[in-house]
Each structure stands twice: as structure tokens, then as C-alpha cells.
Amino acid sequence: MRFGGLTAVRSVDFTVNSGEIVGLIGPNGAGKTTFFNCLTGLYVPTEGTVSYQGTVLPPKPHLVTKAGIARTFQNIRLFANMTVLENVLVGRHTRTREGLWSALLRGPGFKKAEKASEARAMELLEFIGLAHKRDHLARNLPYGEQRKLEIARALASEPGLLLLDEPTAGMNPQETRATEELVFAIRDMGIAVLVIEHDMRFIFNLCDRVAVLVQGEKLVEGTSEVVQADDRVIAAYLGEPFEGDPAQNEAKAAGTTKGEAQ
């Protein structure tokens, strides 16, 4: 994915298995959210394609959701003036077959589908612990509960893969721990989870594998222990050059040549 002369993401690939949690980390500006935006159709990749379970996905967010990928956002994007229940019901739109005329006429088929969607939405609200606030406006929820509600709305689309973009940003330690337990519960449902996060303790406690993005490319991928011990990861986070970085090596070589010439 290029923006003008800047290549934000280059040849990044993943294998995420059912019931697995994979973390995606990297310094600010590494291309993590851009990668999510390419996966979910918000951006049209400059080159290449995005595929899921062997099928190439069209760069249309609603079709990506229909294919089985759902996401949350770094900045909460709830419908502030809709109720908690209504927000979750929005997530059901790709799983209902009722069309415009059915909605206008409100026949038996529509009412049956509406009842089924509401029942599923209530199951998800029970799952995240917000069933008792079904009629509250989303904007009146505490920050941590708004984060949970956004996850419930994503789950309403019945995804096989859930993308979480900084789900603990701005949370206190108790809320972070609750989010960790929620993600484990989602994993236990058989849903694959890919998480972007800057809280390293959260990531390394949570994930089966962790991948590191640096300057739009995947630097390393492995278990928490492998990633934490990798000198290149440490160097990337400290802003230091690491062995094997072509740009840094080129600059270093140029500097050496100049010094020798002088």
C-alpha cells in the first residue's frame, strides 16, 4: 500500500488458525492500522491482493464482513445516539436476508428475522456483560464498556477472524485484564483473533504468536519468547539501526566511504 512516495505496507502475509490469537506489534508508523485497512477493504491496495481462506476479497468493507472478517477500530466508532442493543443489531446486517420490500411491508418473514437477530444480539450482550444496559444510549456508557460494545457489534456478523485494533488503548489495569479474559473467551468460541496493541505485557500474555512490523514489512514472527529475545525487535523499538536493515546499512556504508575519502 503506497501513499505517494511512501510504501506503508509491503508483502505482509499471515497464517492465523481457528482458535488462535496472533499479535501484531511495531513502532508508531510501522503500518499496522494500514494493514488492517487493506484487509478490511477500507483501502484498496496499490499492488497485490488480499485473500481469506483461499478466496480473494473485493476491497469493499461490507463484502469483507460478509466473507467472515470483522474488526474494531483504534478510535471507537459506535453509533453514539443509538442504544446498546441497536448498535449490536447493526452488526447483523450481513447475516440477514430480508430486503427493502420485506422491511417496508413488515410481513411474517421480516418479523421472524428481526426476532432472531434480537435474540442473537442479546446473547452477545450477555457474553460481554452488558445485557442489563440494552436500552442505554451508547454515548452514556463508560469508556471500557464502549470498547466491549464495539467487540460485540463485530461478533454479531459471525466472523471467523476478528481484528482488534488497540482494544486496551486508554484502559486502566482492571479494564485491560477484563479485555484479556474477553479475548480468551472469543478464542474459545473457535474464532481466530489478530490483535494490534502497544501494551507489550497484554500482547505477550495473550498471544500464541506475535509478529513485528517495521517500516511496513514483517520483521519477525514467533512465540512471545522468541520475539522478546530478538535484537532486531529491541533495536526497532529503541529507534536504533539493526543488522540487516538495507536503508541503515546503505547510509552507514555511504558515511564510511565519505570518511575514507576525506
- Give the pLDDT confidence of 130-162 residue by residue, as tens digits: 999 999 999 999 999 999 999 999 999 999 999
35: helix, coil or strand? helix
Confidence band (pLDDT; 50, 70, 90) for 251?
very low
DSSP state of 137: B
**Average of per-residue pLDDT across 81-86:** 96
Query: Within the chain, what is the greatest distance between any pair of CA atoms?
Result: 86
Q: Which residues contact 5 (CB under 8 A, 6 or more apart)?
A: none
pTM of the predicted model, to two decimals? 0.82
Q: Which residues contact 231 (CB under 8 A, 6 or more apart)?
A: 242, 243
> Distance (Å, rounded) from C-alpha 233 to C-alpha 214?
9
> Distance (Å, rounded) from C-alpha 42 to C-alpha 58?
11
| Residue 164 predicted with pLDDT over 60 | yes
pLDDT in tens, 183-204: 999 999 999 999 999 999 999 9
Q: Which domains does the chain have, with CATH numbers?
A: 2-81+142-261 (3.40.50.300)
Confidence band (pLDDT; 50, 70, 90) for 98?
low
